[in-house]
Amino acid sequence: MILQNLLSPSENTCTVKEMYFRDTDNTRTYDTYFNIFSLHKWKTYTVLKDFYLRLQAQGSFTVEIAGDTGTLCTQSFSFAGPETAEIRIPDTESSCVWFSFRRDSNDARLLSGAYTTDAEPVHDVHIACDICTFRREKYLLHNLQLLNENILNDPDSSVYGHMDVFVIDNGKTLKKEEVETEHIHLFRNMNAGGAGGFTRGLIEINLKKEELGLTHMIFMDDDAKMETDALVRTFALLSYVNEKWEKACISGAMLREDIPYASHESGSHWTGMDPWTRYFGLDLRPRENVIMNETMDDPDYAAWWYACYPLSVATLDNLPLPLFLHNDDTEYGLRNQNGFILMNGICVWSPGFENKRASSLSYYDIRNCMIVNALYREDGNLKNMKKYCRKRILANTLRYRYKDAALVEKAVDDFLKGPSYLVSINPEEKNKEVMDAGYKLVPCEELTDDPDVLRQIYMYKDPDKVDEIYNNMTKKNKWFYALTANGWIFPAKKDRVYPLPMGIWPFDLFRKKKIILFDPDSHKGIAGEKSYRELYNSLLIYIRICLALAKEYKGAKTDYNDSFKRLTSYECWKEYLKEDE
């Protein structure tokens, strides 16, 4: 069976050559993120012991197999036409191995390749992809086309005949004739957010489990650009997984679509507030970083842009919490601690998040974070939750996003209403209420008629280097900004309106009176203005939050724990979703 295919740059996925191979003179080396072989992990997670490198090639050439401990073996071949060269991977203590292909004749060509095994699979695997979508037809249809071409309709794929796709349409805009095939199933769903869409998919997968012979499922984002060989590698892992890891979750990394070699997240750790991920912003082009990225890790959860669970775990009596969006994957990972498998090459690409700051996140992040803490921290993490609320209120106030600061209080109030309120609300109506309470992005031309400001907005260029994004997320001389309350104790600069990207560090608003926060992709934004009255209101908001938490937090925490089984049950979800079909 093929364990992983040899990959090359593609317009459909990634065009960065160093993610696939490196060229020096007449030698091409495959010691890269997508083509390195994670030998130690294959030995750890599966029953496999023997591995092979199989290459389709022609001409005279030399293959050198190496690892992080040094050169392992070298073999030369001479083929008159296309033939198969097979080399057994030597026993080694190397965590990763790779190979180099040296052309010894002008007609030497490497046509294709794969790392394989001759062992018979120990598990009969059939995967269901659970894709939740909301009016993102462009992205979804592109991904479905890739799945059709490379897996569902390709008899040469090792996953052919072993996969079905469940598309949950929260926007109710997709047409069955555009989507459905023998192996792609479409379900219309109320807009209960990502949590509601993914859970509806998980329900339908479980109801079809016996009929289709399904064994595993993958939570998968609709707008994530995928490398379909991630599914090949996932299928192989599941086919040979050993007893210790058979209930584990395979967690795909998220790389940045705008900087395709930058790792944004690869398994995350729950801090009780914002998540922490190892190697945040790691440049995956250098070999040393690729090997470092293979270090064994034990994260707390897998994000749902690509998270594969066995259906022996993801059952109808073990459904997610109805959190609408954010922290649903966090809670599910914390609940199902059966280990997480991460591996180079199993990933998706997603757009960057810095400048996509919807007001509603100030509500959902706080409310859902409090629910997760109530369930998984013995003391409810109350001290840090107050700190988290203070941090979000302060960040929003310093960005002049005063409505978002008020949404933090709304989130706390709704958390304190308890689990009965959580499942009694109509999620579509609640989301509309939250969105109406925040800021609405409008074309920047509606915010200013100053040609210079508009020129700066339209000419703004997102950083194209990892360091410019991840290493500049902190500010030098932070003490100065803190001591001066980010310039609020000084007179504000009233000379002009300052256009700034949505994700700007709050310290960059130092002494600015009027601003426009904009999304560089859509050129839409919101207007903001420094207001001491709103600063005072933000202080009152935080005081009210602390008083409410002191009075009601313990009771709410108890209610969420007592109601947990009901909240994650099939019966609760059927009533909550009011299933359409």
Print pLDDT tens along the chain (581 aa).
Answer: 999 999 999 998 999 999 999 999 999 999 999 999 999 999 999 999 999 999 999 999 999 999 999 999 999 999 999 999 999 999 999 999 999 999 999 999 999 999 999 999 999 999 999 999 998 888 899 999 999 999 999 999 999 999 999 999 999 999 999 899 999 999 999 999 999 999 999 999 999 999 999 999 999 999 888 899 999 999 999 999 999 999 999 999 999 999 999 999 998 999 988 888 888 889 999 999 999 999 878 899 999 999 999 999 999 999 999 999 999 999 999 999 999 999 999 999 998 777 788 999 999 999 999 999 999 998 888 999 999 999 999 999 999 999 999 999 999 999 999 999 999 999 999 999 999 999 999 999 999 999 999 999 999 988 777 777 776 555 566 777 777 878 888 888 888 999 999 988 888 899 999 999 999 999 999 999 999 999 999 999 999 999 999 999 999 999 999 999 999 999 999 999 985 44
The kind and range of the H/E element at 562 are: helix 532-567
- Per-residue pLDDT at 357: 83
Answer positive or negative: Cα dihedral of 222, 224, 229, 232: negative
Question: 2-116 and 127-350 share one CATH topology?
Answer: no
Write down the CATH number for the domain with range 2-116. 2.60.120
Report the SS3 class of residue 352: coil
- Per-residue pLDDT at 472: 59
Question: CB-based contacts of 353: which residues, under 8 Å, 6+ apart?
Answer: 264, 503
Answer positive or negative: Cα dihedral of 413, 415, 418, 420: positive
What is the model's pTM?
0.95
Please give the CATH topology (third level) of the domain spanning 127-350.
Spore Coat Polysaccharide Biosynthesis Protein SpsA; Chain A (3.90.550)
- Per-residue pLDDT at 475: 56
CA separation (Å) from 8 to 12, 101, 348? 11, 14, 16
Q: Are 166 and 96 in contact (CB under 8 A)?
A: no
**Domain-wise residue ranges, the chain:** 2-116, 127-350, 360-533
Give pLDDT tens digits for 206-246.
999 999 999 999 999 998 888 999 999 999 999 999 999 99
- Per-residue pLDDT at 480: 77
Backbone angles phi, psi at 340, to 5 degrees: -130, 135
Report the SS3 class of residue 127: strand
- Per-residue pLDDT at 378: 86
Query: Can you tell me the distance from the alpha carbon of 577 to that of 54, in angstroms, rounded to the nearest whole number?
Result: 49
- Per-residue pLDDT at 285: 97
